[in-house]
């Protein structure tokens, strides 16, 4: 693989379709809305777009419950719209990643419907994990596994069998020991690759393979092997997918959602015969603290170097609290921490840190993921009325966990009041989640006109990164020492990034010229204030 492959240093923008732009005025974003806004994305300066699932779905989990991979959900448009979108994006130089969800399908998927009607012991049930229950009447679930979304991971059907769902009951888990399951997914990959998709983002990639004995959790057992996370056999799935991806004249890219604490186990997914890259959740979950960030950067680079895969840098997505909000908290930790729902945070602080973090992310070697709205500095919306919340996590926790709706609120494009241009003036419905009225200051329209805005910083930084080969290369060396509360590193060719995480200003090195700063500089423009980052060139 040539080291210049696009995905090695790409900046990839995540489009959460239902909240991006609504062209038909039903309050839900759609593909026509995205097509209208492609010039905005091209101008922003990103290299690729990753679309959350846009397939036909009852939306029990916002499209991660796929009923038909070869159809677009009618609320988003048609297959012809998706094909046109891919073509138009390509014409603008934007690559496309689609989302593939191997772990489960929707309970409305034809396979599951057939499994329900075919009954216990049928071949149709072999595509899933149907089991009799325990207890005298089979009234207890087959084992003690819990759903990621809360509650038991098993649901009983009318004939008495139980089926496994590691997420919501509307998301039955597939049985990857079944050849039909494997063949179908490879065929789905080809379906989208044939339509021009440049790659796939692989959902819950550690989970599709289960210990076939479905054991109870043994509290005394070591954490590895886990009965369904990171089972060794899961790698065979992605090796087969890589063969499909590599069979195209321009090989398609595989990007894994691989939530693992151990960077070495994560790197095991990144091989020349497996995935190309994976999201770096250690980085996303790291608090705004110089020593901890440095440790994560080091462990990431150390784990990726031997396998020759680029690292990725990501701070927000559709599953976690927006990082402006996280960074505005005293303890700016984990991507999701329901214990902090509603905890106080400081917008000025969070914004200053998010601006500095952008320059850090874009300067680190590898590729970078941006989540729609972060370029506007959007924050987590915490006051969505319970009745309007849609994330199954909210309902399944009995409201104890706010869920993930707060980072999924429709984007503000223009104007001074909701729907802020998200929906056209002729809209017949409000946006599917309410937008805060104070988003009038962070619409695309308002920020495009303000050189000091978050959007202007993103545009400038992305343009600089594109123009600067050193930033897209692999050279990296620390200039700061551990314990400095300063992150400073070179990227070759006299090129330096400095981020000050200490409470005091730090002088800029002599002989350096400031290329870009995340905020105002102190004393004669030669001092780097707290929570500020700069890109420097040796003059
Ligand atoms: O997420 C996988 C996952 O386990 C977490 O991101 C999870 O949503 C979070 O920890 C809950 O606290 C993927 C998708 O990104 C997510 O949106 C889906 O809900 C999930 O898979 C099921 O498909």
pLDDT digits (tens, 9 = 90+) for 424-452: 999 999 999 999 999 999 999 999 999 99
| 471-489 average pLDDT score | 95
Task: Tell me the CATH architecture of domain 475-538.
Answer: Sandwich (2.60)
pLDDT of residue 163: 98
Q: Kindly report, as residue ranges, where domains of CATH 3.20.20.80 are found in the chain.
A: 6-103+179-454
Atom of ligand 1 nearest to the CA of 392: 19
Nearest CA to ligand 1 atom 6: 319
Q: How far is the CA of 204 from the centre of ligand 1 (A)?
A: 7
Active-site annotation holds for 203: yes
| Span of 35-39, 217-221, 290-294, 412-416 with lowest mean pLDDT | 217-221
pLDDT of residue 1: 40
Say if residue 352 is exposed, middle or buried (CB neighbours under 10 Å; 0-12, 13-18, 19+): buried
Q: Kindly report, as residue ranges, where domains of CATH 2.60.40.1180 are found in the chain.
A: 475-538
pLDDT of residue 486: 97
Atom of ligand 1 nearest to the CA of 167: 22
Q: How far is the CA of 43 from the centre of ligand 1 (A)?
A: 30
Nearest CA to ligand 1 atom 9: 319
Looking up tokens 């329209």 gives 445
Q: How far is the CA of 319 from the centre of ligand 1 (A)?
A: 6
Mutation test residue for ligand 1: of 53, 64, 165, 391, the one with most atoms within 8 Å of CB: 64
Residues 6+ apart with CB under 8 A from 104: 64, 65, 165, 166, 167, 171, 172, 173, 174, 204
Q: What share of the chain is helix, strand, coil (3-state, %, to 5)?
A: 30, 15, 50
Nearest CA to ligand 1 atom 17: 319
Task: Tell me the CATH architecture of domain 6-103+179-454.
Answer: Alpha-Beta Barrel (3.20)
In order, the DSSP letters of 479-506 are -SPTTSSEEEEE-STTEEEEEE-SSS-E
- Tell me if the bond preceding 361 is cis, omega within 30° of 0: no
Mean pLDDT of the chain: 96
Tens of pLDDT, residue by residue over 308-361, are 999 999 999 999 999 999 999 988 889 999 999 999 999 999 999 999 999 999
Nearest CA to ligand 1 atom 16: 319
Ligand 1 pocket at CB < 6 A: 61, 64, 101, 148, 167, 203-204, 257, 259, 318-319, 336
The catalytic position among 257, 375, 380, 447 is 257
Tens of pLDDT, residue by residue over 54-81, are 999 999 999 999 999 999 999 999 999 9
Q: How far is the CA of 228 from the centre of ligand 1 (A)?
A: 15
| 392-406 average pLDDT score | 96
Mutation test residue for ligand 1: of 52, 167, 407, the one with most atoms within 8 Å of CB: 167
Distances (CA, A) of 478 to 152, 334, 484, 509, 517: 47, 25, 11, 14, 19
Say what the pTM is: 0.97
- Tell me if the bond preceding 474 is cis, omega within 30° of 0: no
Q: Kindly report, as residue ranges, where domains of CATH 3.90.400.10 are found in the chain.
A: 110-164
The catalytic position among 161, 198, 203, 282 is 203
pLDDT of residue 264: 86
Nearest CA to ligand 1 atom 7: 319
- Is the pLDDT confidence value at 103 over 70? yes
CATH classification code of 110-164: 3.90.400.10
Percent of the chain with pLDDT over 70: 99
Q: How far is the CA of 326 from the centre of ligand 1 (A)?
A: 19
Atom of ligand 1 nearest to the CA of 168: 22
Q: Contact 318/371 with Cβ under 8 angstroms?
A: yes
- Is the pLDDT confidence value at 484 over 90? yes
């Amino acid at each position: 693989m040539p080291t210049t492959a696009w995905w090695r240093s790409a900046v990839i923008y995540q489009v959460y379709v239902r909240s991006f732009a609504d062209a038909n005025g039903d309050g839900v974003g759609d593909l026509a809305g995205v097509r209208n806004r492609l010039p905005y994305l091209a101008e922003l300066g990103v290299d690729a777009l990753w679309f959350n699932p846009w397939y036909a779905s009852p939306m029990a989990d916002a499209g991660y419950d796929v009923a038909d991979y070869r159809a677009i959900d009618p609320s988003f448009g048609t297959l012809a719209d998706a094909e046109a979108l891919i073509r138009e994006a390509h014409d603008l130089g934007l690559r496309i990643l689609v989302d593939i969800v191997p772990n489960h399908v929707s309970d409305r998927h034809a396979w599951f419907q057939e499994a329900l009607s075919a009954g216990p012991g049928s071949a149709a049930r072999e595509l899933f994990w149907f089991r009799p229950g325990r207890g005298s009447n089979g009234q207890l679930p087959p084992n003690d596994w819990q759903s990621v979304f809360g509650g038991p991971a098993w649901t009983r059907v009318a004939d008495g069998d139980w089926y496994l769902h590691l997420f919501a009951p509307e998301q039955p888990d597939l049985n990857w020991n079944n050849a039909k399951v494997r063949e179908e997914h490879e065929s789905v990959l080809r379906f989208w690759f044939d339509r021009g998709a440049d790659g796939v983002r692989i959902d819950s990639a550690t989970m599709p393979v289960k210990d076939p004995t479905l054991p109870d959790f043994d509290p005394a057992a070591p954490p590895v092997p886990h009965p369904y996370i990171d089972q060794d056999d899961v790698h065979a799935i992605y090796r087969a997918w890589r063969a499909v991806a590599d069979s195209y004249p321009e090989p398609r890219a595989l990007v894994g959602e691989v939530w693992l604490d151990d960077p070495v186990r994560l790197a095991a997914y990144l091989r020349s015969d497996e995935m190309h890259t994976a999201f770096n959740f250690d980085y996303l979950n790291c608090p705004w603290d110089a020593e901890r960030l440095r440790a994560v950067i080091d462990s990431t680079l150390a784990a990726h170097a031997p396998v020759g895969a680029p690292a990725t840098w990501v701070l927000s997505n559709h599953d976690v609290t927006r990082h402006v909000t996280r960074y505005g908290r005293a303890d700016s930790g984990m991507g999701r921490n329901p214990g902090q729902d509603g905890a106080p945070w400081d917008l000025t602080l969070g914004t200053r840190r998010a601006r500095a973090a952008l320059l850090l992310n874009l300067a680190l070697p590898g590729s970078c993921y941006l989540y729609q709205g972060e370029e506007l500095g959007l924050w987590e919306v915490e006051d969505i009325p319970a009745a309007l919340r849609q994330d199954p996590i909210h309902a399944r926790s009995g409201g104890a966990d706010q869920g993930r709706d707060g980072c999924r609120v429709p984007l503000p494009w223009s104007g001074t009041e909701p729907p802020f241009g998200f929906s056209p003036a002729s809209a017949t419905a409000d946006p599917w989640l309410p937008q805060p009225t104070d988003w009038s200051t962070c619409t695309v329209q308002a920020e495009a006109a303000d050189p000091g805005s978050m959007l202007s910083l993103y545009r400038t930084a992305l343009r600089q990164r594109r123009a600067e080969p050193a930033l897209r290369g692999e050279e990296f060396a620390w200039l700061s020492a551990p314990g400095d509360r300063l992150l400073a590193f070179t990227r070759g060719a006299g090129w330096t990034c400095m981020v000050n995480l200490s409470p005091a200003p730090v002088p800029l090195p002599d002989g350096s010229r400031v290329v870009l700063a995340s905020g105002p500089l102190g004393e004669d423009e030669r001092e780097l204030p707290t929570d500020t980052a700069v890109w420097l060139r040796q003059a």
